[in-house]
Amino acid sequence: MSARRDGTPPPGAETVRFIDERVGASPLLKQAMRYVFPDHWSFMLGEIALYAFVVLIGTGTFLALFFQSSTEETTYHGSYAPLLGARTSIAYASAVRLSLDVPAGLLMRQTHHWAALVFVAAITVHLMRVFFTGAFRKPRDLNWAVGVTMLMLSVLEGFFGYSLPDDLLSGMGLAIAYGVAMSVPVIGGNLAFLFWGGEYPGVHELASRMLILHVWILPAAIGTLIAVHLAQVMRQHHSQFPGPGRTERNVVGTPLWPAYALRSLGLLLAVAAVLFLLGGLVQINPIWQYGPYEPWLSTNGAQPDWYLGWLIGGLRIMPPLEIRFWGRTWIPNPFWGGAFFPLVVFGTLYAIPWLDRRLTRDHGRHELLDRPRDNPQRTALGMGFFAWVAFVFFGGSADRVLIRFGFPYEAQIWVARFAIFVVPVVVYLVTLRICRELRRSEQHPLRGWSGRRVRRTESGAFATVAPSEEDRAGP
Partner 1 sequence: MSPWRVIVAAVLLALRGGRRGAAPPPPVDPRERELPGRGEHARRAELLTAALLALGGLAGIGFFVVYLLGPGHLTQWLGLALGLALALLAAALIVAGKAVVPQEVAVEERAQLVDEQAEREVAELAAAGAEGVTRRRLLAGAAGVAGVGVGAALVTPIASLGPNVSQRIDETPWRRGVRVVDERGRAILADDVVQGTFVTGFPEGASLRDLASPIVIVRLPPATIHLPRGRDPATWAPEGLLAYSKICTHAGCAIGLYRYPSFRPTQPRPALVCPCHYSTFDPARGAAVIFGPAGRPLPQLPLAIDPATRELRANGGYSGSIGPAWLNVDRGSA
Partner 2 sequence: MRRALPALAAALALALGTAALAGRPALARAAVAPIGPPPVDGPALYEAACASCHGFDGRGVHDQGPSLLGAGARAADFYLRTGRMPLANPHDAPVRTPPQFTDAQIRALTAYVASLGGPAAPPIPRVDPAAGTLAAGRSAFTDHCAGCHQVLARGGIVTGAIAPPLREATPTEIAEAVRIGPYLMPRFTTRQIDQSTLNSIVRYVEWAAHRPSNAGGWGIGNIGPIPEGMVAWLIGIAALLIVIRLIGERSPQ
Instruction: Enumerate residues 154-183 that contact partner 1 by CB under 8 A.
Output: 172, 175-176, 178-180, 182-183
Residues 323-382 that bind partner 2 (CB under 8 A): none
The answer to the question of residue 421 lying near partner 2 (CB under 8 A) is no
Binding partner 1 (rule: CB under 8 A), the pick from 19, 23, 84, 189 is 189
Helix ranges (DSSP H) in 138-242: 141-163, 168-182, 188-196, 205-212, 218-236
CB of 121 to partner 1, least distance (A): 18
Q: Cβ(117)–Cβ(55) under 8 Å?
A: no
CB of 121 to partner 2, least distance (A): 5
Helix H or strand E encompassing 314: helix 309-317
Binding partner 1 (rule: CB under 8 A), the pick from 28, 277, 355, 446 is 277
Binding partner 1 (rule: CB under 8 A), the pick from 399, 432, 447, 471 is 399
Question: What ranges make up the beta strands (E) of 56-115?
Answer: 73-75, 87-89
The site string for partner 1 over 130-159 (x = CB under 8 A, - otherwise) reads ---------x--------------------
Q: How far is CA 439 from CA 26, 374, 443, in A?
A: 48, 7, 6
Identity of residue 317: I
Residues 429-468 that bind partner 1 (CB under 8 A): 430, 433-434, 437-438, 441
Choose the contact partner of 41 out of partner 1, partner 2, none; CB within 5 to 8 A by kind: partner 2
Rg of the chain on CA atoms, in Å? 28
Q: Cβ(154)–Cβ(120) under 8 Å?
A: yes
Binding partner 1 (rule: CB under 8 A), the pick from 29, 32, 54, 107 is 107
CB of 214 to partner 2, least distance (A): 18
The answer to the question of residue 333 lying near partner 1 (CB under 8 A) is yes
Binding partner 1 (rule: CB under 8 A), the pick from 63, 318, 387, 392 is 318
The answer to the question of residue 172 lying near partner 2 (CB under 8 A) is no
The answer to the question of residue 320 lying near partner 1 (CB under 8 A) is yes
Binding partner 1 (rule: CB under 8 A), the pick from 24, 319, 451, 460 is 319
> Residue 74: phi, psi to the nearest 5?
-145, 170
Closer CB to partner 1, 304 or 349, in the complex = 304
How far is it, in rounded angstroms, from Cα 195 to Cα 184?
Answer: 14
The site string for partner 2 over 93-132 (x = CB under 8 A, - otherwise) reads ------xx-----x---x---x--xx--xx--x-------
Helix H or strand E encompassing 97: helix 90-100
Instruction: Count the Cβ atoms, other than its own, within 10 Å of residue 182.
Output: 20
The answer to the question of residue 28 lying near partner 1 (CB under 8 A) is no
Residues 6+ apart with CB under 8 A from 315: 176, 180, 334, 337, 338, 396
Binding partner 1 (rule: CB under 8 A), the pick from 66, 80, 195, 350 is 195
Part of the chain binding partner 1 (CB under 8 A), chosen from 145-153, 290-298, 375-383, 465-473: 290-298
Choose the contact partner of 200 out of partner 1, partner 2, none; CB within 5 to 8 A by kind: partner 1
186 burial (CB, 10 Å; 0-12 / 13-18 / 19+) is exposed
DSSP assignment letter at 460: S
Instruction: Count the Cβ atoms, other than its own, within 10 Å of residue 371.
Output: 16
141 burial (CB, 10 Å; 0-12 / 13-18 / 19+) is middle
Choose the contact partner of 412 out of partner 2, partner 1, none; CB within 5 to 8 A by kind: partner 2
The site string for partner 2 over 264-293 (x = CB under 8 A, - otherwise) reads --xx--xx--xx--x-xxxxxxx-xxxx--
Q: Cβ(394)–Cβ(409) under 8 Å?
A: no
